[in-house]
Amino acid sequence: MVMKGVTADLTLNTTPDGFDVTFNGDKIFQHTPDDPVVWLGYGVANFSERHGNFQFKDDLQLKVPLQNFTVVVLEGDLIQLDLTTDDDPTLSLILTVAWTGANRLDMNSSLQYSGSNDYNRIWVRVWAEEEESVWGAGEQYTYLNLRGRHFPIWTSEQGVGRDGGVIANVTDIDGDAGGEYYTTYYPQASFLSSRKYSMILKDKHYMVLNFTDTFRHEISIHTTSFTAMLLQADTLMKTVQSLTTLLGTQPVLPDWVVTGTTLGLQRGTDEMLLYYEAAKNAGANISSLWIQDWSGTIQTVIGHRVYWNWRWNQTYYPDEMINNMIDLGLSGWMADFGEYTRLDMYSKDTTTYDSEERHNYLPVEWARCNRDALSVSGTLGELVPFMRSGGLGSSSQQLLAWAGDQNVNWAFGDGLPSTIVAALSLACEWNGYNSLRHRRIHDTSSGYHEVQGVTAEVC
């Protein structure tokens, strides 16, 4: 039996015990009693944090399949299905799929429940093809094609090592900082399919995008609602462009960012000026200096690094250097550490976000705060704050994304190659500006090389 609305773009195909939802001829949902589209459950989550590195444990206590369905509405460009379960007769979930034109679907769910179970988990399964490739989920460093793996959407430190080797084991000793293949500063609740569609999940709760199954992509969220958009076009590039238009674009960078070299220097005023003058005398066009150790440095078990107390170190950079910097004019700053929000932190904002939402929401608001400061001061298009943390909504607020710190090697897990994967991964979500940084072991300037450019028309 085929039931469909006015438009041929959105179609509902039903059988006595199942249904398919297709869009422009492509299957989006396939439901059977043995493999339902939606599951609900409840569990208790435990997050622990140290220096922006998060450990997560979930005590899942119940997971029930919504195997039964009834067609509630099928008219115009709208499909509504009532999903129920034999395990809990008081439970009902309305799944809505609406065609909104311009090759876009809007999807959401509404839970109706009068029982005693405290449901706080939802799983939604999207149809997949065996040979399908999937990209995105924000800035992923290890794998470009996400098939065969799962990816939590939770902003955190990227991790040092990330491959389970010696470096990761050592850094785990100093702050649980080893990381995993999926840990990232910039996760985004969306993905791009080789079937020429992009799915955007509009939720800030802890989420997992699971691409391990051959014939379905499973989305699990720490809430009972599902709100998503699906954009589709006849080419991958047009799909990405549609997503970029929807999420918003960055302003054009000032000329000094792209026409000159930014030197990353450290170890105090004298050493910084020494290399700055050497570069100028050699004929280099130096447009700016990046000084990240203004707060000083510290020796740890994993080596020499910036001292994270965020107070000006007057020994490294005394007053005369500050005056010189003011005279030259600061042109930007690293707007970092949006990923550090613990779940027990609060703000003066009275907006009712729960702790998980607030954690993933802060990087977006931090980007908005920096951009607002430039707009108010009239310096938008002149100054360039850059940041590594982000999420869904950051693309319209950030001026420049950067990939953070990687290991001093060519390892695919956390070396220089991982920054290429990261740039391509983020470009599959939106066309924007991305800066890559890699520390060299024996660099004569004891600083950084920058790989700069525009992450355009890739994937």
Cross-strand pairs, 136: 191
∠ CA 310-422-148, nearest 5°, is: 125
Are the CB atoms for 224 and 120 separated by under 8 Å? yes
- Catalytic residue selected from 163, 336, 365, 414: 336
Q: Is 405 a catalytic residue?
A: yes
Q: Is 336 annotated in the active site?
A: yes
The catalytic residue among 49, 157, 203, 339 is 339
What is the length of the chain? 459
Rounded-to-integer distance, Cα 438 and Cα 457, Å: 23
Structure tokens at 282: 């050699």
Element (H, E) at 143: none
Across 145-180, b (16+ Cβ under 10 Å) vs e yields ebbebebbbbbbbbbbbbbeeebbebbbeebbbbbb
Coil/strand/helix, residue 377: helix
Q: List, in sequence order, every residue forming a beta bridge with 316; answer none if it has no partner.
A: none
**Residue 271 designated active-site:** no
Whose CA is closest to 367, among 340, 346, 343, 388?
388
Nearest 10 degrees: Cα torsion 193, 199, 405, 439: 30
Per the CB < 8 A criterion, the answer to whether 7 and 89 are in contact is: no
Catalytic residue selected from 77, 88, 357, 405:
405
Q: Which residues are catalytic?
A: 336, 339, 405
